Structure 1
Amino acid sequence: MADKTPIDTLIDLMARLPGLGPRSARRAVLHLIRKRGQLLAPLAEAMAEVAATARECLNCGNVASGDICPICADIKRENGILCVVEDVADLWAMERSGVFRGRYHVLGGTLSALDGIGPDELRIPRLKDRLATERVSEVILALNATIDGQTTAHYIADELDGRVTLSSLAQGVPIGGELDYLDDGTITAALNARKQI
């Protein structure tokens, strides 16, 4: 068996990305090679820069190129409302809608007894710290409408009960749906129709 070429290695790595299998990865790599100057070289530079600078925001858990993400650093954002999401993709989905102007808290997953994920494996202790140090009046639980998402929402609601006003996303988010797959209008409707827990 011949040694793998750099192109084979690139195809294998691309095939590991969500939504790409080996065939799609081969097509994507061929396209990148054909458009070497316009796509491949700039993509390689951008990936190297992201690999060197990307980190988790110390405040909310978003992905940033510095210690504090642009959302947390934005003085125009509302400090009193905190939107709790499962992961960064959900935060980005909420931001795409353009309707929420508060701040976020990324849990980094959901509670799962089967996978051995408890509150300390998530950013729930950091959420409690933020409530103690920031003037938060409302926490919006914008977790996915899955069993693990709803279990996590109930756990957080129990932990924060009486400390702040708690609300969750309402209409428009289907049971079993995930925020990252919803359109902007659905997210907007769900956020605007949130209800107190």
Structure 2
Amino acid sequence: MTSFLAATALSFAVIFVAELGDKSQLMALTFATRFRAVPVLLGIAAATVVTHAFSVGVGYLLGAAIPTFWISVVAAVAFVGFGFWTLRGDALSEDEEKKGDATARSAFLAVAIAFFLAELGDKTMLATITLATQYPGGGGVTGVWLGSTIGMVAADALAIILGRVLGRRMPEKVIRIGAAVLFFAFGVWLTAEAFLAA
């Protein structure tokens, strides 16, 4: 499998899982109750394209400057941290919930701006940076950007659909625990990879 395809597939899986139960997925649910689904999804996609391009650029620069063993160890620790972060869960503050009622004339702009700001420093952004350090080549970096972008948009599309169909009766605890277990598994896998390659 080429580094582009491997990076795309892994990034899709990791970011899709990272987004489950995340604050921005809760924002997608909230926006879907106030606006039509299409502008919400397009706003999410626009913000994700920009945020993840920035994240991949940062990860690429870090990956070129740090030895592979330490990148893998730090990535493993980061994914274990993401697992604990996911178990803790995210909740929207009153301020963030009110962003859905923003006076912006366009739902697209309101969603895009809110998502861009929410993603800065969020675990999906940090996970994308971490993934980009694992694929320093041009095709791998492009794959990380494409996979992470599609993974986040797909997870938020799922939130929009579920939010519209099921209301707010999703089993959040089960989603959080499942996502956390997958993060721990990614952490163990990266640790094993680091020590086997050393």
- Tell me if both proteins adopt one fold, taking TM over 0.5 as the criterion: no
Q: Which has the higher helix share?
A: 2
TM value normalised by structure 1: 0.25
Higher relative contact order (CA 8 A, sep 6+): 2
Q: Which structure is higher in strand share?
A: 1
- Structure-2-length-normalised TM-score: 0.25
Greater Rg over alpha carbons, structure: 1
